[in-house]
Structure 1
Amino acid sequence: MALVDQAKVNFILQTLKNMEYGSVIITVHDGTITQIDKTEKTRFGTKKTPSKN
C-alpha cells in the first residue's frame, strides 16, 4: 500500500467538510491519487399546496 500525501488527505477532508449534498470521486493510478472530482448538489425547499379538488 502506497503512502498518501498529507496535502491530498487534507484536500479531501476539507472538500467533504464543506459539502452538504453531493459526491467526491477519488481516482487512483498505480496506488497514487491522481484526481479528485467533486459534484455538489444544491437543493431548494419545496412548498406543497393542497390541491383544490
Structure 2
Amino acid sequence: MSTITSEQTSSDGPPTDWLEIVRKNVANLRFGSVQITVHDGRVTQIESIEKTRFVAGRDDSPTGRK
C-alpha cells in the first residue's frame, strides 16, 4: 500500500482546481481510495491511498509446502 501526497500551490496564478486533482487521482487508481480533507468549508488536502492486492491460489498452504 502506498500513500501519495502532493502540495499544489500557485502564488502568481489562479488557485489549483481541487476537483481536477481528485479526478486525476481517481483515474490513476486501480484499487484504493481518495480522501478529501475540508477545513472551514474549504478543501485543504487530498490524499490517494493505493493498494496492491495479491490473489492466493487454491493450493497454497499456510507453511508454503505440501
Q: What TM-score, normalized to structure 1?
A: 0.71
How do 1:1-53 residues align onto structure 2 when only pairs under 5 Å count? 7-49=17-59
Change (3 A) 1:9 1:48: same
The percentage of counterpart residues that share the same residue type is: 40
Structure 1: any 5+ residue segments left out of the alignment?
Answer: none
Where relative contact order (Cα < 8 A, 6+ residues apart) is larger, the structure is 2
Choose between structure 1 and 2: higher helix proportion: 1
Write the distance in 1 (CA, Å) between the matches of 2:49 and 2:32: 5
Where does structure 2 lack aligned partners over 5 or more consecutive residues?
1-14, 62-66
Runs (4+) off by over 6 Å: none
Aligned residues: 47
